[in-house]
Structure 1
Amino acid sequence: MTDDVRRGVIGAGVLGFGFSALIDVVVLHLILRLHHLVSNRYPVSTVPGLRTNVLADGLFSLGAILVMGVGAGLLWRAERRADRPLPVRSLAGAAIIGIGGFDLFDVVVNHALLGLHHSTHGSSYYDPHWFVVSVLVVVAGVLVYRGGDRAGGSGA
């Protein structure tokens, strides 16, 4: 693997990580309102608690956008430096690994270790399910990534 491909794969993984974080906060926190970032610490049943949670969700969204920007910048820079197109399957696999990687980070760190929130307000019932789905997404990403390697690195 060349340095340009390695940089592109890292950029795609970081982009996927940030994308998953942004989708998580927009869909699960804001649209479906299954939980908020710090809903185990600040109850959403009070106005001050809800305000704190929405602020935390907003700051988290900005962080996710920043991470996506870093990943996109790394990927763009790698593509610009490469003397031939980067392998699409490897980049797609890395992005999928990044998506699942964020989900794993979320369930292990935010749900289990820090106890900031659970998959649904106040209940950890779905946390193991979220963990399993996250692992499956990472495995799918690894399979896509390896498929790019077997295709001679062309990814096309």
Structure 2
Amino acid sequence: MLGAGVFGFGFSGLVDVVVLHHVLQWHHLVSGIYPMDTLAGLRTNLLADGLFSLVMLVGMTVGAGLLWRAERAASDPLAVHPLAGGALIGLGAFDVFDAVVNHMLLGLHQPLSQGGRYNPHWLVVSLLLVTAGYIVYRTGRPTGDDTSDG
């Protein structure tokens, strides 16, 4: 499950950057510190987004490596429910981290330029993803089996 969670965390971060930062252009990683309406500010924000994307790609690669290692070490194929649950937990965990650390504690950016108005909603949806992941994980895991790294 660890590999699936790490992969899900990185995937969620990468989707966040691509969709919210680049396609919708709602914010950038450090737009709460460096304004997006100046060329220097935009360049700084794009650089931060790019570096963050690289970190998320590394996270996805590490997660995929952990999954590969767990699959190779397992005597039976890895079960789908724990993997899907772990990935959902990772997806939600990134969003919880983003809401609490980046939005609320550090003020790096806000989901929309509404002064944090959407943070509670973002956090609730993120926690629902984590909860859904846990439920999916538990429904497919045999009792007492918590040894998989996948």
SS across alignment from 2:47: helix
Asked if 1:147 corresponds to 2:139, the answer is yes
Asked if 1:70 corresponds to 2:62, the answer is yes
Distance in 1, matches of 2:137 and 2:45, equals: 36
Gaps of 5+ in 1: 1-8
What residue number does 2:84 align with? 92
Gaps of 5+ in 2: 146-150
What residue number does 1:81 align with? 73
CA apart distance, 1:149: 1.8
Distance in 2, matches of 1:146 and 1:81, equals: 22
SS across alignment from 2:141: helix
The runs of 4+ residues in structure 1 deviating greater than 3 Å are: 150-153
Asked if 1:33 corresponds to 2:14, the answer is no
CA apart distance, 1:123: 2.0
Q: 2:112 aligns with which of 104, 111, 120?
A: 120
| Two-structure CA RMSD over aligned residues (Å) | 1.5
SS across alignment from 1:38: coil
Give the alignment's TM-score, normalised by structure 1. Answer: 0.89
Give the alignment's TM-score, normalised by structure 2. Answer: 0.93
Q: 2:11 aligns with which of 8, 19, 25?
A: 19
The CA deviation string for residues 51-106 of structure 1, in whole angstroms up to 9 with x for no partner, is 10011000000000000000000000110111111111001000000000000000
CA apart distance, 1:45: 0.7
Pick closer, same or farther for the CA change 1:31–1:151 going to 2, 3 Å: farther
What residue number does 2:148 align with? none
142-151 or 54-63, which moves further after superposition? 142-151
Identity over aligned pairs, percent? 62
What residue number does 1:4 align with? none
Q: 2:122 aligns with which of 119, 123, 130?
A: 130
